[in-house]
Amino acid sequence: MIGNLDYSTLQHLWWLLCSVVGALFLFLNFVQGGQSLLWQVAKTGLEKDLVINSLGRKWELTFTTLVLFGGALFASFPKFYSTSFGGAYWVWILILFTFIVQAVSYEFRKKPSNLLGSSVYELFLFINGSVGILLIGAAVGTFFTGSNFELSSYNMVTWTNPLRGLEAAFSLFNLSMGLFLVFNARTLGAMYLVNDIDFSATPDMENRLRKACMVNFICSLPFLGYVLVSLLLMDGYGIVDDRGTIAMVSRKYLANLLANPWLIGLLAAGLVLVILGVFITAKSRSRAGIWFGGLGTVLVGLAVLLLPAYNNTAFYPSKADLQSSLTIFNASSSQFTLTTMTYVALTIPLVLAYVAYVWWAMNRTRLSAEELSDETY
């Protein structure tokens, strides 16, 4: 059956699979969100240790998913990978740097006689949870606003802005996308910590976390609103003929939504689930909000990542040269490669089952103050 799939179907399928991984990464950003909440919700050494050790159980999942996302894009859409990572050099270097200092912080924060002291490593965690996510959001925003690159006939990339990708953060749309992701990550972080920590020794921190969930959700709304309204009104980069010619199309992303109403359903369902998760966490004593908010974030992320790629749209448009813009048709691997990868992808359910088991094994009991002596972060 897989061998009979045509090239276009495989290209759409692999953008969908990459988008699923990207959406899961956005959910797992609760780790980064929790890190950025540390100084706001944890007032004592015990509370800080509880927060960091709770997040320390999961930080590797987030990092691994980011690497998996990059690897999937490299294998299925290598021209995009080489253009973005080779051209927008500095923005990706900074993003990776924030994740490197995150790993270092979890390793060395509690080491005896560490040179920098625990506060410096806590600052590194905050930088990863704020600056790192902001830059990732700005990078996602370029799927809609475009980037400053040109491709030669040999697919050699020339970046036309000396900031090498950092200029994305100076676009109001991209900045709004990044700030929305930051506050959404903080919202998810509060939900996760409420779910994972035993607050019998720190009841005040539970109240602060529940309040932080609502406050950060409210802070995210103006940025979400700006992004959604902009998407409905902005011109986009579309394929306008059979030769793959790219041109500006009026209200292209609105047209994409109308042509694919299931994307509207994904977006609406995701937003409703996030709102439900927020109210469950902030207005009740339930700990289940993270499951609603997490699933909602995955659905919203999936809609956002699919919108700029389907319906004959350039998912990585070039502002410097429209015809250098990348689509799922001109940026993908060969049909043979995508077919082979699809057979391998049949093992994905097994991987997800393993991840679910590991998650369950780590969360069978909530983290309590008594357990901290056995933790290492």
For residue 347, give the amino acid letter: T
- For the chain, what is the HEC assignment? CHHHCCHHHHHHHHHHHHHHHHHHHHHHCHHHHHHHHHHHHCCCHHHHHHHHHHHHCCHHHHHHHHHHHHHHHHHHCHHHHHHHHHHCHHHHHHHHHHHHHHHHHHHHCCCCCCCCCHHHHHHHHHHHHHHHHHHHHHHHHHHHHCECEEECCCCCEEECCCCCCHHHHHCHHHHHHHHHHHHHHHHHHHHHHHHHECCCCCHHHHHHHHHHHHHHHHHHHHHHHHHHHHHHHCCEEEECCCCCCEEEECCHHHHHHHHCHHHHHHHHHHHHHHHHHHHHHHHCCCCCHHHHHHHHHHHHHHHHHHCCCCCCECCECECCCHHHCECCCCCCCCHHHHHHHHHHHCCHHHHHHHHHHHHHHHCCCCECHHHHHHCCC
Residue 374 has what pLDDT? 61
Residue 369 has what pLDDT? 83
Residue 373 has what pLDDT? 67
Q: Where are the domains of the chain?
A: 7-374
For residue 40, give the amino acid letter: Q
For residue 258, give the amino acid letter: L
Whole-angstrom Cα distance, residue 236 to residue 227?
14
| Closest residue by Cα to residue 313 from 297, 299, 326 | 326
Helices 30-41 and 7-28: crossing angle in degrees, nearest 10, is: 20
Whole-angstrom Cα distance, residue 224 to residue 167?
21
Return the structure tokens found at 105: 């912080």
Return the structure tokens found at 269: 């369902």
From first to last of its 377 residues, what are the pLDDT tens digits of the chain?
Answer: 787 889 999 999 999 999 999 999 999 999 999 999 999 999 999 999 999 999 998 998 899 999 999 999 999 999 999 999 889 999 999 999 999 999 999 988 888 777 788 899 999 999 999 999 999 999 999 999 999 999 998 889 999 999 999 999 999 999 999 999 999 999 999 999 999 999 998 999 999 999 999 999 999 999 999 999 999 999 999 999 989 899 999 999 999 999 999 999 999 999 999 999 999 999 999 999 999 999 999 999 999 999 999 999 999 999 999 999 999 999 999 999 999 999 988 888 887 888 788 888 878 888 888 887 665 67
Integer-rounded Cα Rg, in Å, for the chain is 21
Sign, CA dihedral 128-63-155-331, equals negative
Residues in the chain: 377
Residue 283 has what pLDDT? 95
The Cα angle at residue 261 between residues 259 and 264, in degrees rounded to 5: 125
Cβ(29)–Cβ(181) below 8 Å: yes
